[in-house]
């Protein structure tokens, strides 16, 4: 059954990925949140639960939880997917542009735009001298800085804004640690840029043809329930038990996070046999092994940084 569901998820992803950007799929985002939750201080856990209860999906996030403590954990874990969930038609959020007058606003749940461009910051580069196009004026870094600053009680933000910002922070921190959420590659074959690997096609060992971006997004698998995400993250070999570099974990500047991810993308995501064009190429075992290792270490680092910034915001 799990293989059938994974196949269905992959098919739906290929339809959906043409027009929108995700990172890590739900499983990755929820596992990062589950790993971070273990390291939250009691004060931070109390405050995040108060804020998450203001989100209209709180009751859905906690459905089936056997007790109050588990409900709080599940809400935190599931909230990490909300910024992707609002892209679904049933939520009624509008698509908008990074160049719009309202692109960088921070007004809480009154904001009914999807803000797809908040999920990434594509640093442009070219391996062959192709001219670069400028990046978006509003992106993951501009919004993370704005939202992190609004979380502490000393800020002038309302709890409605803090709640909205919290669910976005839970998500974007995971996003910017996915290497292909930090770059746009320009080549002679792709002169207008590849949109973070969405223009290249690859064939992994599983045999299907997918975008390079989708390949990296799905490394942690398809959808998990909060229970499943907690189980996977805290298993012996889960990302919650990977030791993130303590010095790197202390880095709190989102711009540095993007620069790190971009460097990893250039070294690993665009490594051979990935081509400079859109033609599909089979991936090697070495490539896929490196990709899994980088994804796991990046997820563990994202979890450590997320816990650090929330503990600091809610101390």
pTM beyond 0.75: yes
How far apart CA 290 and CA 269 sit, in angstroms, is: 9
pLDDT tens per residue, range 93-150: 999 999 999 999 999 999 999 999 999 999 999 999 999 999 999 999 999 999 999 9
The per-residue pLDDT for 184 is: 98
Angle between helices 25-37 and 226-234 (to 10 degrees): 60
Give which of 173, 195, 149, 169 is closest to 257, Cα–Cα. 173
Here the CATH number for the domain that contains residue 261 is 1.10.575.10
Look at residue 7 and tell me whether its pLDDT is greater than 50: no
CA angle 242–292–167, rounded 5-degree value: 65
Residue 67 burial class via C-beta count within 10 angstroms: exposed 0-12, middle 13-18, buried 19 and up? exposed
Contact in structure between 115 and 108 (CB atoms under 8 Å): no
72 or 14: which leads in pLDDT = 72
How far apart CA 241 and CA 228 sit, in angstroms, is: 16
Look at residue 55 and tell me whether its pLDDT is greater than 50: yes
Overall domain count for the chain: 1
User: Measuring CA to CA, how many Å separate 303 from each of 8, 124, 194?
Assistant: 28, 26, 28
The per-residue pLDDT of the chain, averaged, comes to 93
* Other Cβ atoms within 10 Å of 52 Cβ, number: 22
How far apart CA 70 and CA 56 sit, in angstroms, is: 19
CA 125, 126, 129, 134 torsion-angle sign: negative
Q: Provide the token pair at 290.
A: 């490196």
Q: pLDDT band for position 9 (50/70/90)?
A: very low
Contact in structure between 147 and 171 (CB atoms under 8 Å): no
> How many percent of the chain have pLDDT more than 90?
90
Give which of 153, 156, 21, 24 is closest to 95, Cα–Cα. 21
**Host domain of residue 61:** 2-313
Contact in structure between 33 and 83 (CB atoms under 8 Å): no
Say how many residues make up the chain.
315
The per-residue pLDDT for 22 is: 53
**Which DSSP letter does residue 236 get?**
T
Q: pLDDT band for position 15 (50/70/90)?
A: very low
Give which of 26, 4, 9 is closest to 228, Cα–Cα. 26
Phi, psi (deg, nearest 5) at residue 95: -75, 140
Look at residue 17 and tell me whether its pLDDT is greater than 90: no
Residues 5-23, mean pLDDT to the nearest whole number: 40
Lowest mean pLDDT among 3-17, 30-44, 45-59, 136-150: 3-17
How far apart CA 254 and CA 183 sit, in angstroms, is: 14
pLDDT tens per residue, range 288-301: 999 999 999 999 99
pLDDT tens per residue, range 221-273: 877 799 999 999 999 999 999 999 999 999 999 999 999 999 999 999 999 99
């Amino acid at each position: 059954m799990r293989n059938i569901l994974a196949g269905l998820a992959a098919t739906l992803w290929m339809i959906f990925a043409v027009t929108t950007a995700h990172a890590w799929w739900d499983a990755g985002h929820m596992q990062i949140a589950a790993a971070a939750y273990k390291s939250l201080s009691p004060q931070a856990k109390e405050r995040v639960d108060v804020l998450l209860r203001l989100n209209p999906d709180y009751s859905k996030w906690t459905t089936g939880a056997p007790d109050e403590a588990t409900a709080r954990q599940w809400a935190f874990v599931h909230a990490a997917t909300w910024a992707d969930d609002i892209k679904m038609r049933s939520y009624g959020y509008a698509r908008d542009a990074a160049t719009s007058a309202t692109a960088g606003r921070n007004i809480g749940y009154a904001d009914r735009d999807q803000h797809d461009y908040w999920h990434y910051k594509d640093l442009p580069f070219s391996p062959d001298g192709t001219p670069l196009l400028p990046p978006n004026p509003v992106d993951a870094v501009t919004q993370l800085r704005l939202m992190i600053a609004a979380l502490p009680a000393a800020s002038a933000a309302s709890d409605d804004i803090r709640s909205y910002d919290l669910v976005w922070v839970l998500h974007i921190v995971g996003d910017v640690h996915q290497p292909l959420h930090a770059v746009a590659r320009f080549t002679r074959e792709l002169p207008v840029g590849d949109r973070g690997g969405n223009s290249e096609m690859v064939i992994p060992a599983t045999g299907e043809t997918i975008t390079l971006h989708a390949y990296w997004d799905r490394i942690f698998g398809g959808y998990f329930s909060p229970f499943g995400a907690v189980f996977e993250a805290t298993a012996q070999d889960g990302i919650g038990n990977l030791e993130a570099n303590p010095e790197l974990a202390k880095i709190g500047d989102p711009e540095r996070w993007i620069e790190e991810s971009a460097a990893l993308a250039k070294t690993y995501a665009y490594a051979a046999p990935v081509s400079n064009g859109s033609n599909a190429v089979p991936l090697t075992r070495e490539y896929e092994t490196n990709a899994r290792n980088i994804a796991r270490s990046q997820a563990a680092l994202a979890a450590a940084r997320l816990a650090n910034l929330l503990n600091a915001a809610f101390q």
